[in-house]
Structure 1
Amino acid sequence: MIKLVASFTIKNCDYIKNGGKQMAQNKSVAFDVNGKPFNRSAMVAVLLIGTFAGVLMQTSLGTAIPTLMKDFDISFATAQQATTWFLLANGVMMPVSAFLSTRIKSKTLYNIAYALLTLGMATTAFTPADSNMWWMFLAGRIITAIAVGVTMPLMQVVMINIFPAEERGAAMGLNGIVIGLAPAIGPSLSGWILEKDHSFLGLTISNSWRTIFILPLIVIVIAFILSFFLVKNVLPTKKIKLDILSFVLAIAGFGVFLWGFTNVATDGWGDVKSVMTPIAIGLIVILVFIWRQLKMKVPFMDVSVFKNHQFTITTLAVMMTMMAMMGVEMMLPTYLQNVHGMTTLDSGLVLLPGALMMGILAPITGRAYDRIGAKRLSIVGFSILALGTLPFIFISTSTPSSFITTLYALRMFGVVMAMMPLMTMSMSVLPPNEAAHATASNNTARQVASSVVVALLTSVTQNIMNNNEPSKALQAANPLQYGSDILNASMKGFHVSFAIGFAFSIIGIILSLFMRSGRVEAYGTTNHVAIKNEKED
């Protein structure tokens, strides 16, 4: 990891302003905000490893739900709260991250975040297996999610600031390893842990659900200790006053909005109390929040970044990437388990090559952005994503798992080819001093897109399955035919969800056509961009 980071050194002298002084930043030395040199490779390695361990917690409990139900003696709906509350707490922290990174020194903020990660993971790992102590487990998950909601966007802002423009794509590619690979391998890793005891380097790894948290906890503790020595203050800060009303509006608006969408999976769109009302109230509060930010001289989260058309287009394209990815990714494990009868571990292993594809290619596509820009890469990426998704619309109950693995890997190749350049460009079209607000806006948009598509596809798929289910009378009269019809009803639901995922990739292609060509860099203001390496189409 450190060798990989070290390869992204500054090739030419680059002068940066800090407090009116000019400081040279050469290929072997980087400087913090106080003009002191630091080891950039070591710092980035600590940030990547620590944040990776935290982001892993987003999806790690999917395969552990049955085990938690048994150990805590709780229902399925109660066990699912471990994921729901994590996503909610993580989502509401996204718009808050801009204020925190502007107000608090980057080293201090990472120290606090890693301390919260340590506390959160330790709390969940050592919660007594008792239904009366479930609140403690949830508290640990919420603390962990709050910390991840800080470290993930903060890492993007740091990458933008400590790497020069010509290496920014490669740097964001490293960031993509965390954003893409960690959630993708979470279910496979947990399934592997829960299957049986394992021996590694002479140590026995228990198959307890606690191990899912203990292993990343060890990594976080190491990163926490190293952060005091290797992480430096690289972001300029300002003593801005916390606008309490904006803070409350952000937490309440995005929290209630996302909570409404998470309830769709269990309650359906028709539930006014738990779905429609929270979504409507959350949307109104978000609009009030946006209106207030536009009126404030020093906004809590500067939503005016969306006045930059290129930022808006690339952010929308990133949302389409997430929705297209989730459109298949969330349905495939259910298809493999319910239709093919696979275990959670086996279904995770079928999808593992695709997850590894994202981790391997993220730095490569980032480097490609540095050479040719985002437009061509995103068009090719969305096209590959569409081609990889189209066959899923026609899969059957007898489709070989090897075919699923190949198609899924192809899809993830398209996802990473589009997503990494798009994320880099969305940050690059704005000046560095707006990176924190741009990152907060971009991450919030991605979080909203993920929640919306999960709710949309879950409800649509379930409705189609319900409408095509055979009558209960057939179950008694002809059980074999009944079982066959149930599978066919399920397949119709899966086909529609895959078709929606395909539609998102087509929209992504269309959005990409409106992007500027070449590598885009910002100079001075959000409305002034320069095009590098390539002429306009």
Structure 2
Amino acid sequence: METKPTYNRGLVLAVMLIAAIAGALMQTSLGTALPTLMKAFDIDLSTAQQATTWFLLANGMMVPLSAYLAKKVKTKTLHVVAYIMLLAGVLISMFTPENADSWWIFVAGRILAAIAVGIMMPLLQIVIVNMYGQKERGAAMGMMGLVVGMAPAIGPTLTGWILDKDHSFLGLTLSAHWQSIFVIPAIILAIAVVLAPIMMKNVVPNQEVSLDILSLVLSTVGFGFFLWGFTNVATAGWGDFGEVIAPIIVGVAFLLVFVWRQLKLDVPFLDVRVFKVKSFTIPTIALILAMMAMFGVEMMLPTYLQNVRGMSALHSGLTLMWGALFMGFLSPVAGVLYNKFGVKLLSFVGFGLLFVGTLPYIFLTAETPTIIVTVLYAIRMAGVALTLMPLTTAAMSALPDEKASDATAANNTLRQVSTSIVVALMTSVVQNIINNQTPGKALKLSDPIAYASKVLNASLDGFRAAFAISLAFAVIGFVITFFIKNQKEAK
């Protein structure tokens, strides 16, 4: 019989979710602001993208360390430190002077924020597993899905709204300036920093574990080079040995040594043995495919709306807002449905909706009605909502609670790497098709109308190919669902 803790679990979860909102916003909200940052700092696109690239790299490298920190450091202390680090990172980027020489300060703030998010997000899952019993865990994971899924989805729209014109927020004036995009996350984090020392509790049992420095170095270098290689694909191309192929090879080599060392250690830095449990590994693979299918369209669709349809960043974000709201609404519901029907049925329905919502995207044209794009996106996000948290809960429930930190770190590491890969893959596919099909400048001079038409068709072909890849992820995920054990939360 499960014993409920003496502290208020709802308050602990509330504090973590408040901070997670800001952390999730910082992960995806910057993309819409890149043109504004380029102009403000007088930098080119490749330089501006460093703000995203280094955030991704730092966040990915921190994930394996989260398991060790969760075991070694008290829960309350770890949360307070992470919230303060994230707030500091936000403020550093926010108050960076506007000139090219100061851009490294902006990036440094992003790196600090990424380190904090790399601690916070895995720890959120670990705390939920330790705080809630089998009967209640699905609903708690659903609430986490509301933040993890919805906040990144609305981030680009929120940024576009802020940059569109001056606004008023909580009595403050948000000017249409890049610094304003950090105001709301900073306010949310300030609230979390004040509440955490009062409401947070030491939920995760601490252990006397030592830090294996060699494992830390191997994982940091391995994941760093691996992700760095894939993030360079968009600018350097798949054939570039120095910037793409070599870093990936080096990363894989270090990661193989890392895995080998973990299997030899009595107390591993990251217990990769969790993947020997099929009821953990199979839902995790399905989860990765759902994430890749989601990011494949979520990343490319706003670019299609802006580049092909000529929409502003704000209006392209608003077009997708209903999908974000739909996902936010269904994520907690998915937790309840998981308790009632189990993960297998929800995964079938979820991947089925992903397939139905993605298939028409490979036939998009420059004249496709916006309402169709919006409805299809909402269907896709409903499918994502019905798969992410149930699959995560099923994977975590397959292992003993004492393995929660290792399982969470392994789960999040694969998710981080997979989303990095799909971003690089989609970008490179679209760019390569556009480059190969764009006519020469001679046609532009002799027949500008024909040139513009061919460029538009090249862009459409690129986006359709990317959407087809996302469709493939959904199909493979649906097939993997057949191998998932039809488990439900214990009653």
TM-score tier by shorter-chain length is over 0.9
Q: Using the alignment, how far apart are the partners of 1:455 and 1:66 within structure 2? A: 20
Match of 2:458, as an amino acid? A
* Structure 1 position 41 matched with structure 2 position 10: yes
Among 212, 217, 222, the alignment partner of 1:243 is 212
- Structure 1 position 202, deviation (Å): 4.1
Residue 70 of structure 2 corresponds to which residue in structure 1? Answer: 101
- Structure 1 position 55, deviation (Å): 1.5
* Structure 1 position 178 matched with structure 2 position 180: no
Among 464, 467, 478, the alignment partner of 1:498 is 467
Among 240, 248, 273, the alignment partner of 1:304 is 273
* Structure 1 position 85 matched with structure 2 position 54: yes
Q: Using the alignment, how far apart are the partners of 1:199 and 1:302 within structure 2? A: 48
Residue 314 of structure 1 corresponds to which residue in structure 2? Answer: 283
* Structure 1 position 332 matched with structure 2 position 301: yes
* 1:107-146 superposed matches below 5 A: 107-146=76-115
* 1:128-527 superposed matches below 5 A: 128-519=97-488
- Structure 1 position 201, deviation (Å): 4.8
Q: Using the alignment, how far apart are the partners of 1:435 and 1:169 within structure 2? A: 15
Q: Using the alignment, how far apart are the partners of 2:184 and 2:205 within structure 1? A: 34
Match of 1:272, as an amino acid? F
Match of 1:443, as an amino acid? N
Q: Secondary structure at the match of 1:204?
A: strand
8 Å contact 2:394–2:487 — kept in the other structure?
A: no
Q: Using the alignment, how far apart are the partners of 2:300 and 2:318 within structure 1? A: 15
Shift >6 Å, 4+ stretches: none
* Structure 1 position 58 matched with structure 2 position 27: yes
Stretch deviating more after TM superposition (101-110 or 199-208): 199-208
Higher strand share: 1
Match of 2:328, as an amino acid? G
Q: Using the alignment, how far apart are the partners of 1:190 and 1:81 within structure 2? A: 18
Q: Using the alignment, how far apart are the partners of 1:146 and 1:178 within structure 2? A: 19
How many residues in Structure 1 have an aligned counterpart in Structure 2? 491
Q: Using the alignment, how far apart are the partners of 1:117 and 1:201 within structure 2? A: 22
- Structure 1 position 63, deviation (Å): 1.4
Match of 2:186, as an amino acid? L
Deviations 1:55-93 (A, max 9, x none): 210111111112111221111111111111111111111
Q: TM-score, normalised to structure 2's length?
A: 0.98
8 Å contact 2:60–2:224 — kept in the other structure?
A: yes
- Structure 1 position 337, deviation (Å): 0.6
Q: Using the alignment, how far apart are the partners of 2:428 and 2:23 within structure 1? A: 29
Q: Using the alignment, how far apart are the partners of 1:193 and 1:182 within structure 2? A: 15
Q: Using the alignment, how far apart are the partners of 1:133 and 1:470 within structure 2? A: 39
- Structure 1 position 470, deviation (Å): 2.2
Q: Percent identity?
A: 56
Q: TM-score, normalised to structure 1's length?
A: 0.90
Match of 1:493, as an amino acid? G
- Structure 1 position 203, deviation (Å): 3.4
Deviations 1:192-237 (A, max 9, x none): 1111111245432222211111221111111011100100001101
Match of 1:396, as an amino acid? T
Q: Using the alignment, how far apart are the partners of 1:201 and 1:65 within structure 2? A: 26
Match of 2:8, as an amino acid? N
Cα RMSD for the two superposed structures? 1.1
Note the residue ranges of structure 1 that are not aligned, 5 or more in a row.
1-13, 16-23, 26-30, 32-36, 521-531
- Structure 1 position 120, deviation (Å): 0.7
Q: Secondary structure at the match of 2:168?
A: strand
- Structure 1 position 369, deviation (Å): 0.6
Q: Secondary structure at the match of 1:270?
A: coil
Q: Using the alignment, how far apart are the partners of 2:7 and 2:97 within structure 1? A: 43
Residue 5 of structure 1 corresponds to which residue in structure 2? Answer: none
8 Å contact 2:142–2:333 — kept in the other structure?
A: yes
Deviations 1:475-503 (A, max 9, x none): 12211111111111111111111111111
Match of 1:495, as an amino acid? R
Say which one has the larger Rg: 1
Q: Using the alignment, how far apart are the partners of 1:85 and 1:196 within structure 2? A: 29
Note the residue ranges of structure 2 that are not aligned, 5 or more in a row.
none
Higher relative contact order (CA 8 A, sep 6+): 2
Q: Secondary structure at the match of 2:439?
A: coil
Deviations 1:146-178 (A, max 9, x none): 000000000011111111101111110111122
Match of 1:163, as an amino acid? Y
Q: Secondary structure at the match of 2:49?
A: helix
Deviations 1:378-431 (A, max 9, x none): 011001100100000111110011110110011000111111110110111011
